[in-house]
Amino acid sequence: MAPSFFAKKRASFITFRDRKASSDTSTDATASNGFTTSPASSTGATTPPSLPEGLSVSSSVSNLESMTNSIPPPPPMRPTMSSTSSKRQSVQSVPGMSGLGSPLQKPSPLAPRITSIVEGAWVYQKVLSVYGTIGDPQERSFDGTITISRLDDGFPPICWPVCDSHFKGLVYLMPGPNKLRFDFTSPKLANSNSPNPVHSSYLTLHMVPPLSSPPLHLAILLGSDSPGTFDAVPARIEREGNGLETAIRKFRMTGYLWQAYTAEQMYRNKLGRRVFRMEEEWVQGTSNLRDRETGTMRSEAKIHVIRTTKTVAELRNLDITQQNADAKNKGELYTIATEAVKEYFKPAPGQTQYVSVLLLDAHWDKAAQTITGHAALGGGGNGIQLGIFGSQALQSYPSSFEEVVPAFTDCTKTDTNHVANDCNESGSNWEAANIGIGAHLHETGHLFGCPHQENGIMLRDYVTFNRAFTTREPYSTRTKSKGGLVLQKDECTWHRLDCLRFKTHPCFAIPTDMVRSGDESVEVWPVENGNVIVTAGSGVAYAEIFLEGEGECHHWHEFGDGNGNGPIQRQVTLTELDLRSRLPVDKQRAKMKLNIKSWSGGNSTIDDFSLLASKASRLKLPNGQQAFRCSKLGQSAMEGSTPDEVVFDSAIHKTKLMVQVRFYHGFALDGIEFFYEDSTSQLFGKRGGQPGGSEFNLDTRRGEYITGFIVRSGFWIDGIAIMTSLGRVSQIYGNPNGGSGHKLLVPLGYRIAGVTGSCAAWVDGFGVILIR
């Protein structure tokens, strides 16, 4: 028979276990009282805290019982999440039972599976698009609701529909770690109304705002006498208003949708979770309904309100609507908007402001069956990159997270007594939201430099923009189809070339990027054997291939980016055979135009690759050596422009020594004169501009010679500087801020033998001549 001491000791531990069990209120991975369950917790056993120092097993039972009775229970704690990284989010299923004796259940097979992002991922924007499944949709499908909530309650829980076991949703992120919970409920499942949801999963994401990149500004443009209202049906006006504050909320939410959609598209194209950022301000939150009720302050996207000097009547009388093919002044409203935006932001020299504008005074004129005060245009220059679009569909936009799905599933017929059926593709509210939000994003793509593409947002695929945020599409008046389940494959996209362009754009830089190179230039050098060498200080990104008669690019060649897609290549060799092998067989003999991009956003165009790689780019020097003309900078299109070319005497005669270069310039480059030790000289261009020109002397004692040029050019040659073998760089002679910058630094194994180009009133074309 066991000694009574051990019986009493065992009883005291049973008492301690029972007392602990009675205080438990949760069976989550971490008990609510702060104790952690042991691996044996599946049998109901727990590990009590260690005994205080000095208390041995042989201590009296009464002292032990006294000690355990005197320990106060720890305060209740919120269940904590594991922060360990994994390729899938951690999943917990809470069975809803309490008490120590309840076993920890296995993860529920119906816990939400987030397939768009992994546990511990880093993102760089405020609003994130997520999608996933419930169980295996191929085995059994469920309809129901996903509730996405933050464990810190920093943003209210938002519900998103589940259709055929698929779901999509938006997550509002704050800088730092964001601990999220996803709960699935369905009326067809037991315990769906339980206070402890049965089917739950958790996800921790880290958000870092990319504050080192220029922002996209969102602005609302008004006439000088505008009341600040937009077109809406009476029921909408009564329910939510159609004033300026409502417009701000809707446009802000539009910006968040653009951001979430674009970041997801970049990720799917394996170019990183990158997206433009928006300027923010500390205001009362509008992204959810609870903030409006409680007056919670948040850092939200700033909406600038800009008034023009034109009245509403003047803006609407401009016949610029896109629906009118005979419009006389389609670009005038764009000019007005540009002037107003430039006056408002006042960009400093060398600074570029990126602004997407909502024209609030756009108005549906039922009598004329047209939209006045509206234009859909994008582009820019001179410090302002601008996209503009009207407010004719603004009433259909969501103004908060809670309204996103209702906005994209609202089948209410468009009432053309009050609002427009834009392009006859907005027959219902959800379709109007697609046209307004999607077409405005299209114009924003133009301000980022995107041309029209063969498909995607930069064509007209935004008519299905809703599919990025919903899993079931309603009846469409545009296609006369009843809709149904829409998955990732059914969504509209940014074209791959748009994503590549964004990768190189300064607005899309993220903190993990290398420091952006100040040298954006891409230079093209024809050499022997029909090869063409392309150099770029920041790396060659990709080459667009345009065939004769094609308006959009259908073929391209990508190079490494240093992020898992191969190393960055700063010098590549192109051959006609390789380029044509990438084309369809029936188009391999067509004329090819190449548009080559650098990773810093620079650009170089080869109008005819076959011509550049042919004998037309070659010349034979008087000493019999073969030389090559590189592609020219400048347009060579000024009135009276004539070709000009200088082959250095020092490249032909080894006894000739170049000692000085003299630049003739004013607001542009007029000419360059090369002087030799024997007092002879060679002139390229004219001796104009500043009298006497500007001299740059070469250090002949150290064998200094010209290795390249830095050129500022656009329509003509604005300015030029010289680079030498000793690493010296002269000042820029001419206009140092004109045009765009190019660095003509010859490829390895070659040297400069002369210059080529054209000249009119001043130099309007410039290139160099290479020899081995």
Question: In this model, does residue 35 exceed pLDDT 70?
Answer: no
Amino acid letter, residue 585: V
Q: Alpha-carbon distance 231 to 365, whole Å?
A: 10
Residue 85 lies in a domain: no
Shared domain for 684 and 607, answered yes or no, is no
Share of the chain above pLDDT 90, in %: 73
Q: Does the active-site annotation cover 281?
A: no
Provide the CATH number for the domain around residue 602.
2.60.40
Provide the CATH number for the domain around residue 658.
2.100.10.30
Q: Taking Cα atoms as reference points, which of 272, 745, 348 lies closest to residue 504?
A: 272
How much is the CA Rg of the chain, to the nearest whole Å?
A: 34
Confidence class for position 212, pLDDT limits 50, 70, 90: confident
Shared domain for 238 and 255, answered yes or no, is yes
For residue 405, the Cα-to-chain-centroid distance in whole angstroms is 23
The 10s digit of each residue's pLDDT in 452-484 is 999 999 999 999 999 999 999 999 999 999 999
Question: In this model, does residue 37 exceed pLDDT 50?
Answer: no
Query: What average pLDDT score do residues 536-563 get?
Result: 91
User: Positive or negative CA dihedral for 58, 59, 60, 61?
Assistant: negative
- Catalytic one among 443, 473, 491, 673? 443
The 10s digit of each residue's pLDDT in 260-309 is 999 999 999 999 999 999 999 999 999 999 999 999 999 999 999 999 99
Burial of 177 from C-beta contacts in 10 A (0-12 / 13-18 / 19+): middle
Residue 428 lies in a domain: yes
Q: How many residues are listed for the chain in this entry?
A: 772
| Average pLDDT for the chain | 86
Q: Taking Cα atoms as reference points, which of 304, 286, 333, 305 lies closest to residue 226?
A: 305
Shared domain for 228 and 266, answered yes or no, is yes
pLDDT recorded at residue 26:
37
Q: What is the dihedral of CA 28, 34, 38, 39, to 10 degrees?
A: 30
Shared domain for 349 and 430, answered yes or no, is yes
Shared domain for 234 and 375, answered yes or no, is yes
The 10s digit of each residue's pLDDT in 163-206 is 999 999 999 999 999 999 999 999 888 766 666 667 999 999 99
Shared domain for 203 and 221, answered yes or no, is no
Question: In this model, does residue 7 exceed pLDDT 50?
Answer: no
Q: Which of 175, 207, 239 is the last residue of a domain?
A: 207
Confidence class for position 69, pLDDT limits 50, 70, 90: very low
The 10s digit of each residue's pLDDT in 719-735 is 999 999 999 999 999 99
Confidence class for position 45, pLDDT limits 50, 70, 90: very low
| 552 vs 67: which has the higher pLDDT | 552
Q: Alpha-carbon distance 661 to 655, whole Å?
A: 18
Residue 631 lies in a domain: yes
Shared domain for 648 and 695, answered yes or no, is yes
The 10s digit of each residue's pLDDT in 227-240 is 999 999 999 999 99
- 3-state class (DSSP) for residue 214: coil
Angle, vertex CA 73, rays to CA 70 and CA 76, nearest 5: 165
Shared domain for 142 and 188, answered yes or no, is yes
On whether the CB atoms of residues 333 and 320 are closer than 8 A, the answer is yes
pLDDT recorded at residue 40:
35
CA 429 to each of CA 42, 336, 394, 421, 763: distance values in angstroms, whole numbers, following the listed order:
54, 30, 10, 10, 57
Residue 743 lies in a domain: yes
Q: Which of 456, 475, 506 is the last residue of a domain?
A: 506
Q: In the chain, what is the straight-line distance between the N-terminal and C-terminal CA atoms, in Å?
A: 103
pLDDT recorded at residue 515:
79
Q: Alpha-carbon distance 612 to 631, whole Å?
A: 8
> Helix count (H) and strand count (E) of the chain?
13, 40
The 10s digit of each residue's pLDDT in 493-509 is 999 999 999 999 999 99
Query: What average pLDDT score do residues 247-259 get?
Result: 98
Total domains present in the chain: 5
Residue 28 lies in a domain: yes
pLDDT recorded at residue 326:
52
Beta-strand relationship, 166-172 and 127-134: antiparallel
Shared domain for 118 and 164, answered yes or no, is yes
Q: Which of 553-560's residues contact partners 24+ apart within 8 Å by CB, and which partners?
A: 553/451, 553/453, 553/454, 553/497, 553/595, 554/454, 555/582, 555/583, 556/496, 556/497, 556/500, 557/582, 558/500
Q: Which of 489, 506, 523 is the last residue of a domain?
A: 506
Q: Kind and range of the H or E element at 132?
A: strand 127-134
- Among 57-61, 415-419, 560-564, 674-678, the range scoring the smallest mean pLDDT is 57-61
Question: In this model, does residue 606 exceed pLDDT 70?
Answer: yes
pLDDT recorded at residue 197:
64
Q: Directed axis angle between helix 244-268 and helix 496-503, to 10°? A: 100
Q: Which domain holds residue 9?
A: 4-70
The 10s digit of each residue's pLDDT in 382-405 is 899 999 999 999 999 999 999 999
pLDDT recorded at residue 193:
63
Give residues with Cβ within 8 angstroms of 688, minimum separation 6.
Answer: 664, 666, 670, 671, 761, 762
Query: What average pLDDT score do residues 213-226 get?
Result: 97
Beta-strand relationship, 216-222 and 353-359: parallel
Shared domain for 266 and 364, answered yes or no, is yes
Q: Alpha-carbon distance 24 to 101, whole Å?
A: 10
Confidence class for position 409, pLDDT limits 50, 70, 90: very high
Shared domain for 233 and 316, answered yes or no, is yes
Residue 618 lies in a domain: no
Residue 659 lies in a domain: yes
Shared domain for 196 and 49, answered yes or no, is no
Residue 570 lies in a domain: yes
Question: In this model, does residue 8 exceed pLDDT 50?
Answer: no
The 10s digit of each residue's pLDDT in 356-384 is 999 999 999 999 999 999 999 999 988 99
pLDDT recorded at residue 107:
73
